[in-house]
Each structure stands twice: as C-alpha cells, then as structure tokens.
Amino acid sequence: MSMSKGGMPIPGDYFTMGNFACVEGAILAGCRLYAGYPITPSSEIFERASVRFPQVGGNAIEMEDELGSMAALVGGSFAGAKVMTATSGPGFSLMMENIGLAYMMEAPCVLVNVQRAGPSTGVPTLVGQGDMMQAKWGSHGDLETIAYSPSSVQEFFDLTIQAFNSAEKFRTPVFVMADQVVGMMWEKLHIPPAEEIEVVDRQVMEPASKLDKEHPLFDYARDFLPMPIAGMGSRVNVDSLTHDSRGYPSTDHDVSEILNRHLMGKIKNHEKEIWRWEESNLDDAEVAVVSYGSAARSALAAVKNARAKGIKAGLLRLITPWPFPDEIVEKLSRKVSGLVVAEVNYGQMIHPVRENSRCPVVGANWAPGALIEPRAIVDAMQAVVAE
C-alpha cells in the first residue's frame, strides 16, 4: 500500500519499516533537503528520501562523504530549508567537526543515527547503541545536546517530527539516536492528518533595512533568536570563531563567556520542556530498569518476567537521553533499592544515571551485534536487589 501516491504522506495505517517512517515524518515536519552519504543500517532513509523528497518539491543529494554532508546541512539551513541527514557510527564520527559548526552558528538541522555494532566499521548490519556518549561529547568544546531515542516504528516517525520542531525552536543540531533494530524493523505506523501534526518553524530575522543600525545582530541575552536567512535581506554574518553580538570574531573573555552561556543556556534553561520519558510499573517498584531505544523493549519484557518471579520491577524509558533528565532519575533512585541500566553497549548512559542516583546502580550490557535479551536484564535486577 503506497503511503503517498507520489505526494505528501496520506493519513492512514500502514505496515512499514522504521527507516521509511522516519522519512515520511521528516516530510510532514517540513524537511526539504537531505544531504548524506549512504551507510548501513541507515541507507533506506537516504534511498527513500531520494525518491520522496523530489516528489514534494525537495532535494536529496549524495555528498562526497559525511564531512560534506554535514557542511551541506549548515549551508542548506542558512538558505532557509529544514535539513536532515542519516548515518551510522562511522559516518557520525566524521560529522563531528561540522556538528560543532552547526552548533556554533546555530543552524537548525536533524541528524538521524541508526546505530550499529562498533567500534570502527564494526558489524555494519547488526545493532548497537554505542554512540550515545558521542552524541553528547563527540564534538570538541562544550556542547549541550538534544537527542531523542525511538523504541518503535511509530515513535521513529513521531520523534523525527519532534526533532525538527526542537531544531527549529532551539536553532541547534538535534539527534535522533535510533538503532538497527528500530530502523529496520517493520511495524504498524499510523500517519495522522497533517492538521493534527504540530510543526514548528524557526523565527526569521528582519531584513537589515528594517532594523536600527545600532541594533545588535544577535541579542545573546535572549534564548531564542531570529535566524538570518541568505537572500532575505538580513545580514548573514555567522562565524565558527567565538563571536560577539554583531557576529564578528573576538578573543574577549566576556564575549566568549556570553556566547558559550547563550548556546548552552538556551537548551539548559528549557530542559524540563524538552525531557520526555515513559514510566511502566514504577508505582510499587523496588527495582527499576533505565533503558532507551530498542533495548527498552527488551527491558519491558524483563520487567514482566521479573514480576512473574515476584520481583517488584519497573521501567523508566528515556525518550530524551540528552539533555539528561537528571531530576527524574534522582527522584526514582530515592524510591527504589536499585537501578539497572540496560544498553546495547558496554556502559554509556549508566554514567549520568549513576551520577544522579542515590541507590546502587548496575549495568546490563551486551553488545555483540545483538539486542540484549530480557533474561540478562532480569539477572542484573536480581543482582542489584541482592546488593
């Protein structure tokens, strides 16, 4: 059943792949430029975008590599488009430098990382969640990050739209940290009518002719600033160097402090409205699993199995791993006697969980290119209860 008949996505129920659902979500969010370099297991996103984007008046271009892809997103963003790319671990590594550029220039863009098993080129076709820390700390300098982690085909669609809305509002690169299981999984997808979908568009800067000459280009006292768009009459003076309110490079400490505080603050000051999480069986839980993405589905099965064994288990699913919902985890850690962090890596999000917890925290980690099994998570729950 065609989801589009060659135009905008048609509302209805479909049985489709996560990677395809991502593209339809991007189209509904208003994205019209895809720049990328194909890589398993994200390639279906590029493949579908290259068919679908031209059908809705957009473009999908194959760049020479992931450095170029990310640079094209920054350029496309300042040309006024909503832009995206999709990649996996090796490509994500190559994008890091220009992710910093997008962050510094405040260029809204969406990067989908369909994570596979690593390190290096690893196991290209199999699942991993090994890029969670890279999403936060991969680019140099201090960056605040917004990242979403889908656990189902429906959520991959929904969170792709949400990622664009956050990118536009916060004028920053936003990550959708999917993984091979969710990206290549087929499930039911409900596409709602377009009028039921909230779409956020960036504020665009007034043409220079309409602004007072003394008016600073960027008022860093405010969190959300209008964006200068090329060809719209505004001065597009954007720089990767630390810059002042006119956009000019500066080595002044005050300028540096103001800019860095602005870039981090616009996310940090609003993190509570960004945080998204889902709780299952936490009301009477004595032990809780913290998980995200496809691993969270394994964790939910583990919670049910543990309850069948008489362990009062619950699940906190992080829909936004970044910014890290520290207060939510801290509150939970005061209620339960132990936390298990289940991930398809050898221990990444366990670090912020542990940093914010007041109870013992253990990891359930398995990342040989396969989804962690519920029984390994149940074992970890039993271990933490015994501690």
- Site residues (CB under 8 A) for another protein? 1, 13-15, 40, 123-126, 181, 184-188, 294, 297-298, 300-301, 304, 371, 373-374
Q: Which lies closer to another protein via its Cβ, residue 163 or residue 185?
A: 185
Least distance from another protein to the Cβ atom of residue 188, Å? 5
Least distance from another protein to the Cβ atom of residue 34, Å? 23
Least distance from another protein to the Cβ atom of residue 176, Å? 18
Q: Burial-class residue 47 by CB neighbours within 10 Å (0-12, 13-18, 19+).
A: middle
CA 213 to CA 7: how far, in whole Å? Answer: 44
Select from 131, 172, 143, 165 the least CA-distant residue to 41.
Answer: 131
Least distance from another protein to the Cβ atom of residue 150, Å? 13
CA 209 to CA 203: how far, in whole Å? Answer: 17
Least distance from another protein to the Cβ atom of residue 121, Å? 9
HEC string for 169-187:
HHCCEEEEEEEHHHHHCEE
- Measured in whole angstroms, the distance separating CA 385 from the mean position of its chain's CA atoms is 32
Do β-strands 82-87 and 31-36 pair in parallel, antiparallel, or remain unpaired?
parallel
Q: Which lies closer to another protein via its Cβ, residue 126 or residue 381?
A: 126
For the chain, the distance separating the N- and C-terminal CA atoms, rounded to the nearest angstrom, is 53
Q: Are the C-beta atoms of residues 53 and 34 closer than 8 Å to each other?
A: yes
Least distance from another protein to the Cβ atom of residue 371, Å? 6
Least distance from another protein to the Cβ atom of residue 106, Å? 38
Q: Which lies closer to another protein via its Cβ, residue 110 or residue 181?
A: 181
Query: What crossing angle do the helices spanning 66-78 and 89-105 adopt, rounded to 10°?
Result: 30
Residue 290's DSSP bridge partners are: 316, 341
CA 185 to CA 19: how far, in whole Å? Answer: 8
Least distance from another protein to the Cβ atom of residue 2, Å? 9
Nearest 5°: phi and psi at 380? -65, -35
CA 289 to CA 251: how far, in whole Å? Answer: 46
Least distance from another protein to the Cβ atom of residue 295, Å? 10
Q: Which lies closer to another protein via its Cβ, residue 234 or residue 294?
A: 294
Q: Which lies closer to another protein via its Cβ, residue 38 or residue 80?
A: 38
Query: What crossing angle do the helices spanning 18-29 and 43-55 adopt, rounded to 10°?
Result: 40
CA 164 to CA 171: how far, in whole Å? Answer: 10
Residue matched to tokens 């309110």: 245
Q: Which lies closer to another protein via its Cβ, residue 15 or residue 346?
A: 15
